[in-house]
């Protein structure tokens, strides 16, 4: 990710979010290549995002709330990723690094590397992070990946307007996602301060291995 790629501003896609009509018939698009944002302005993308909804995953506590991601640009052009959620009165967090999957491409297709397990982070795990839609003001975003097993709706605020949320869901549906798996994430207002909450040292991860 070079300086030119970092400073490029997102060029709006051909379709605005409002063009994803809620009245359209579902499309069978499981084999269609997903439409991905081009020329993402990485600097504008930095900062904190709150999880509005997502597909459940093994790398987050099932009862997690106030889930959020904070992105910080590193000097080498990679991005420091801090994911946090709160469960059972404790703060669960994991840090990773994001980088362009193909430095020569203008598509917002990133790789994110984490190390597991949380209590002894020695095993690298790499996942895909594709930006499927972002508004012109960088206030809400739809994130997916090529297998369609994971999906996130993020927002700069702890709550997102219902109309915008429904349009993002429709966009995901049009891209072939089974949106019935989406679960809204509980968010409090104001959000909790992580520094004042005891940190979970990885017990939730062990429970997740047994489906708890």
Q: How confident is the model at residue 124 (pLDDT cuts 50, 70, 90)?
A: very high
- Looking at per-residue pLDDT, the higher value among 27 and 169 belongs to 169
0.85 exceeded by pTM: no
Please compute Rg for the chain using Cα positions. 17
Closest by Cα among 86, 48, 84, 51 to 65: 86
Give the number of other Cβ atoms within 10 Å of residue 93's Cβ.
Answer: 16
How far is 34 from 111, CA to CA, in rounded Å? 16
**Residues 55 and 180 sit within 8 Å (Cβ to Cβ):** no
How far is 164 from 186, CA to CA, in rounded Å? 18
Residues whose CB falls within 8 Å of the CB of residue 14, separated by 6 or more in sequence, listed in order: none
Does the pLDDT at position 59 exceed 90? Answer: no
**pLDDT tens readout for residues 15-43:** 566 554 443 444 444 457 899 999 999 99
- Looking at per-residue pLDDT, the higher value among 20 and 108 belongs to 108
Give the number of other Cβ atoms within 10 Å of residue 125's Cβ.
Answer: 13
How far is 49 from 47, CA to CA, in rounded Å? 7
Closest by Cα among 4, 6, 154, 155 to 78: 6
């Amino acid at each position: 990710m070079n300086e030119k790629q970092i400073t490029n501003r997102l060029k709006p896609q051909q379709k605005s979010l409002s063009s994803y009509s809620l009245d359209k018939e579902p499309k069978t698009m499981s084999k269609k290549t997903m439409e991905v944002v081009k020329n993402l302005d990485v600097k504008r993308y930095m900062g904190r995002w709150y999880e509005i909804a997502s597909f459940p995953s093994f790398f987050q506590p099932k009862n997690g709330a106030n889930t959020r991601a904070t992105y910080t640009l590193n000097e080498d052009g990679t991005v420091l990723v801090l994911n946090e959620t709160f469960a059972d009165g404790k703060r669960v967090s994991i840090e990773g690094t994001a980088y362009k999957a193909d430095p020569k491409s203008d598509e917002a297709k990133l790789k994110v590397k984490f190390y597991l397990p949380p209590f002894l982070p020695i095993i690298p795990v790499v996942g895909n992070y594709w930006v499927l839609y972002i508004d012109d003001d960088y206030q809400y975003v739809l994130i997916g990946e090529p297998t369609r097993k994971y999906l996130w709706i993020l927002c700069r605020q702890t709550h997102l307007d219902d109309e915008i949320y429904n349009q993002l869901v429709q966009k995901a549906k049009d891209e072939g996602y089974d949106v019935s798996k989406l679960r809204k994430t509980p968010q409090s207002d104001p959000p909790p301060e992580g520094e004042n909450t005891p940190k979970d040292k990885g017990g939730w991860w062990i429970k997740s291995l047994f489906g708890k």
